[in-house]
Copies of this chain bind each other. A is one copy, B any other.
Amino acid sequence: MVSSEETKAQARTAPKPRGRPRSFDRETALEKALLAFWEHGYETTSVSDLTRVMDIGAPSLYAAFGDKRSLFEEVVREYGTKYGSFGDRALAEEPTARAAVERMLREAAVEYTDPAHPSGCLVIHAAANCSTPEVEQSLRDRRNANIAAFESRIKADIAAGELPPHTDAAALARHTGAVIQGMSQQARDGASRGELEALAEIAMTIWPRT
Contacts and interface: CB of A to CB of B under 8 A. Distances in A.
Copies held by the complex = 2
A38 to B, nearest CB: 10
Contact of A181 (B42, B163, B184): B184
Given A178-B179, A182-B181, A102 B204 contact: yes
Interface string A94-110: 00001001100110111
Contact of A206 (B112, B120, B206): B206
Contacts of A179: 175, 178-179, 182-183, 199-200, 203
B41 A44 contact: no
Contacts of A207: 98, 172
B200 A102 contact: yes
Given A128-B125, A181-B183, A206 B202 contact: yes
Nearest to A207: B98
Interface string A32-49: 000000001111100000
Which of A41, A109, A110, A201: most chain B Cβ within 10 A? A109
Interface residues of A, number: 59
Nearest to A123: B184
B183 A108 contact: yes
Contacts of A172: 207
A156 to B, nearest CB: 15
Contact of A44 (B43, B105, B113): B43
A87 to B, nearest CB: 12
Contacts of A201: 106
A40 B131 contact: yes
Top 8 A-B residue pairs of the complex, sorted by shortest distance between their CB atoms: A41-B129, A182-B182, A128-B128, A109-B196, A105-B200, A112-B187, A113-B193, A120-B184
Interface of A: 40-44, 98, 101-102, 105-106, 108-110, 112-114, 119-121, 124-131, 162-164, 167, 172, 175, 178-185, 187-188, 191-193, 196-197, 199-208, 210
